[in-house]
Amino acid sequence: MLAVYRAPSGSLPVFLGSLAGILSALPSFSVVVGDINIDLNPDNDQDANSQNYQNLLHKTGFFNTILSPTRFRVTKNILLDHFLIDRKSVV
């Protein structure tokens, strides 16, 4: 299991580059949890940051199991906390 935090002010390209290397090196049946601060709310499908992150997860064989918002705001609910498992864990 790996815990990850990405500060909202941190560089997303640097984070994704580091995360790509980490996810690729993890053994099968790995779990990654964290406050990633990338909104995966289905209403946010058009966001380039969300798409880049989801493409990285797909390429490395991981997916997020949390499908509902994890933070609630007056104007918008967001899904910033992620629980990732690798696809091999599902079989």
Instruction: Give the mean pLDDT of the chain.
Output: 91
Phi and psi of 76, rounded to 5°?
A: -160, 140
Other residues' Cβ atoms within 10 Å of the Cβ of residue 32: 21
Crossing angle, helix 48-60 and helix 12-25, to 10 degrees? 10
Q: What percent of the chain has pLDDT above 90?
A: 77
**Residue 91 pLDDT greater than 70, yes or no:** no
